[in-house]
Amino acid sequence: MAVSLLAGAVWLSPAAIVAAFAAPQPSLASVIVSDIRLPRIVLGALVGCILGLSGAVLQGLLRNPLAEPGLLGITAGASLGAVVAIYYGFAAAFVLASPLFALVGALAAAAAALALARGGGTLALILAGAAISSLAYAAVYLALDLAPSPYATYEILTWLMGSLADRSWDHVALAGPFIAVGATLLLFTARSLDALTL
């Protein structure tokens, strides 16, 4: 992360960064660090932490060191939800449309996987997740083929691949509460999740 503060189109030395923030007036270096690079670093760290936490929970719950949300179709459901928001223009009208649709898609995929597994154990849950993942990604690729414009295709691909480009403190403020709530829920339900693995 420290290297991310230094590297970019304009390379900054640690001494230049310290001098920029020590100066009484804002400089180009201080603006580059505080408004461009630092928000990306913070957002990347927050997203990485919650992804790692969710992966650790699923690995413990399924007793599989390779488990991750994609295994149960949750990632595919979230992707499909976001694609629907972008494809139909909701994302352009409302800034939180993509993440909210992704959340609904993830919850729907998880509920569908649980319903299909019907108490059949871990293997049934994984197989149900694989089926849901295949269907959801098929719908995503169909949306890519039928995208109304190259801009929509670009937006969909950017969401699917993930990007920290053009991120600011506004994005940190938007993502932060969702990440905090998710992490808090996982931490407070840790004992219940442990009990499920017995």
Q: pLDDT per residue over 129-168, tens digit each?
A: 999 999 999 999 999 999 888 888 998 998 889 888 889 9
pLDDT of residue 197: 56
Going by C-alpha positions, the residue among 8, 46, 7, 75 that lies closest to residue 171 is 46
Residue 15 lies in a domain: no
pLDDT of residue 194: 64
Q: What is the CATH number of the domain that holds 86?
A: 1.10.3470.10
Please give the structure tokens belonging to residue 94.
Answer: 């409302």
Please give the structure tokens belonging to residue 39.
Answer: 């928000």
pLDDT of residue 170: 92
The number of distinct structural domains making up the chain is 1
Q: Measuring CA to CA, how many Å separate 195 from each of 37, 56, 60, 140?
A: 42, 15, 11, 36
Averaged pLDDT in 10-residue chunks for the chain of 198 residues: 78 82 81 88 93 85 80 93 92 89 95 89 88 95 89 89 89 91 86 60
What's at 17, amino acid-wise? I
Residue 27 lies in a domain: no
d(CA 112, CA 130): 11
Instruction: Tell me what percent of the residues of the chain surpass a pLDDT of 70.
Output: 96
Residue 165 lies in a domain: yes
The range of the structural domain enclosing residue 116 comes to: 37-196
Residue 135 lies in a domain: yes
Residue 5 lies in a domain: no
pLDDT of residue 131: 94
Tens digits of residue pLDDT in 12-30: 888 888 887 787 788 888 8
Residue 80 lies in a domain: yes
Residue 141 lies in a domain: yes
